[in-house]
Structure 1
């Protein structure tokens, strides 16, 4: 005898390229399959054989936007105690909790952990009962549910998550979101894709080069949210860089004027690795030595403010059961 658990949610891909509510099926189809793979693999990692999860297309479309309703059905054995409360050693992680572990809701879970790691591997992971302590560096650590660590170490889960956000690598697709009950519960921007990459798993990586040098960088776009990178230009190429100079960030928090077009003289660390069969580069602003005003005044403002009012997005409605 079985019981079914349902959890409705809606995913959205958005950006200037989707203003006509159209999305290339070659981008959308793999991402939808990856959502099914991600939730199925997470369910297997956490619940084992006590619950099965499948994703189905409901074949309905929402007026005014491009959307596909999907239903993910979780079949639960009825004799298991405390299915929905999560109490007891044999309890099943229900649909909502499963989404929390992945990070689709709640601001934490696997996605929250990867945002804190910012593409880095943990120095150490120590597990005590239901809680795991992830040491991000020698001085910084975070406590997470031990089930989140299981997802972090699952190659299927990590690869599927990477594919879910892979459309953000396409020109003009800038955002991925999850909505529940018409409320946005997760938003991922294109500058965060590197943090969610599967190549940051606990596997050996060959460091090709690791150098720190003085660089002058011009800011093209920036975000002050933890786990985000700044897009900068060094006179030759544009790339994303982490900002690890806490003293400089505190000055900005205290009110120092700072924005697009400003120029920074910095100590820039650039690490190049061969990881998972791919070449991966990471740039980190270790210290800001000097902050200058824009080289040219009255630069055209191409910021994304108000972009959501100027274009529509492509959405996918899902139901997790």
Structure 2
């Protein structure tokens, strides 16, 4: 399903430094880039991985430093969390992320309970206070990239002397406000609780190698396909030098860590290949160990 969703989002900075013209252009550019990243991540959580955000500066105004962004979303996914396609849903998700950070006060939640009726979660902070949010609110602020973006365009300017940051819709009555004394609430929080790590030796069929630093490879273990990071520097160096060549149905014999963690809303499994023992080419496949 393809929808065209539009709204006008405002980012406002308040304080004497703004009134006195002491807000540095270099910092403003960084803050704009950070909120752009944050809204792009929020869009995918709200409308699916194929949703795209056009986020253009449309104007500056007032004695406070206010930036208006023309917000447009296209390619709403069929499995979108907000099937209505209302721009209000996206802005509300973004502003609720700010409210959730303030509620948590920079700490992991004490408890998160999923509703059995809808997609809401009851989030209890370390002080014992409970508020209700959409489940994707927690998923967004638990996303490291989104958390780093909030840290950049909210915590950093507040820690540098601004008095307040406000994000709001210019079309709908939706907004969130963060004050200077709340700046540390926007430091990234590690939401993942380690459950167990299991180190195994196994053979994996290479489905899709990756030649970009930091990208994960796609493998099959004979039952399912998955992505895994390779941290074996010697193997990666051979790949970079062209000493490793890959063909269909090639197998890597590896040592792999399987790490299970718990987030407030789900269990996660991460697989990291720490050592590549052998590369078996398809025509030479034999016993694995």
- Scaled to the shorter chain, the TM-score interval is 0.5 to 0.7
Quick one: which of 189, 192, 196 aligns to 2:179? 189
User: Matches of 2:121 and 2:8 in 1, distance apart?
Assistant: 29
The Cα of 1:43 is off from its aligned counterpart by 1.1
In the alignment, what sits opposite 1:33?
33
Query: Are the counterparts in 1 of residues 52 and 75 from structure 2 also a CA contact under 8 Å?
Result: yes
Instruction: Label 1:185 to 1:48 Cα distance change in 2 as closer, same or farther (>3 A).
Output: closer
What is the alpha-carbon distance in structure 2 between the residues aligned to residue 66 and residue 134 of structure 1? 33
Bigger Rg over Cα:
2
How well do the aligned residues superpose, as a CA RMSD in angstroms? 3.3
Q: Residue 148 of structure 2 is aligned with which of 139, 159, 162?
A: 159
The answer to whether the 8 Å contact 1:174/1:189 transfers is yes
C-alpha distance in 2 between matches for 1:184 and 1:45: 19
Q: Which residue of 1 aligns with 2:87?
A: 95
Cα deviation, residue 201, structure 1: 2.6
1:55-94 to 2 correspondences below 5 Å: 55-58=55-58, 60-62=59-61, 68-77=67-76, 86=82, 91=83, 94=86
Equivalent positions of 1:2-21 (< 5 A) are 2-21=2-21
Match in the other structure for 1:120:
107
Distance 1:147 1:17, change over 3 A: same
Equivalent pair of 2:34/2:150 in contact (CA under 8 Å): yes
Change (3 A) 1:80 1:202: closer
**Other-structure match for 1:174:** 163
CA–CA separation in structure 1 for the residues paired with 2:105 and 2:64: 33
Listed as ranges, the matches of 1:251-290 within 5 Å are none
SS in structure 2 at match of 1:201 = coil
Q: What's the TM-score once normalised by structure 2's chain length?
A: 0.56
2:9–2:70 CA contact under 8 A, matched in 1:
no
Cα pair 1:121 1:202 within 8 Å, conserved: yes
Summarize deviations over 1:238-277 as a string: whole Å, max 9, x none.
xxxxxxxxxxxxxxxxxxxxxxxxxxxxxxxxxxxxxxxx
Q: Does 1:150 align with 2:139?
A: yes
TM, length-normalised to structure 1 = 0.51
What is the SS of the residue equivalent to 2:167? strand
- Which digits, 9 at most, give the CA deviation of each residue in 1:146-189, with x for residues without a partner? 11121132111111111111211113x21112344497933211
Match of 2:190 among 201, 206, 212: 201
Structure-2 separation of matches of 1:124 and 1:163: 27
> Do the aligned partners of residues 137 and 13 (structure 1) sit closer, same or farther apart at CA in structure 2, a change above 3 Å counting?
closer
In terms of mean alpha carbon deviation, does 159-168 or 180-189 score higher?
180-189
The alpha carbon displacement at 1:97 in A equals: 0.9
User: Structure 1: 5+ residue runs without aligned partners?
Assistant: 104-108, 206-321
Inter-partner Cα distance in structure 1 for 2:127 and 2:184: 23
Structure 1 distance, partners of 2:175, 2:184, is 21
Call closer, same or farther: CA 1:110–1:116 in 2, change over 3 Å: same
- Whether the 8 Å CA contact 2:113–2:121 is kept in 1: the answer is yes
Gaps of 5+ in 2: 195-289
Q: CA deviation at 1:144?
A: 2.0
- Identify the residue that residue 215 of structure 1 maps to in structure 2: none
Q: Which has the higher contact order (CA 8 A, sep 6+)?
A: 1
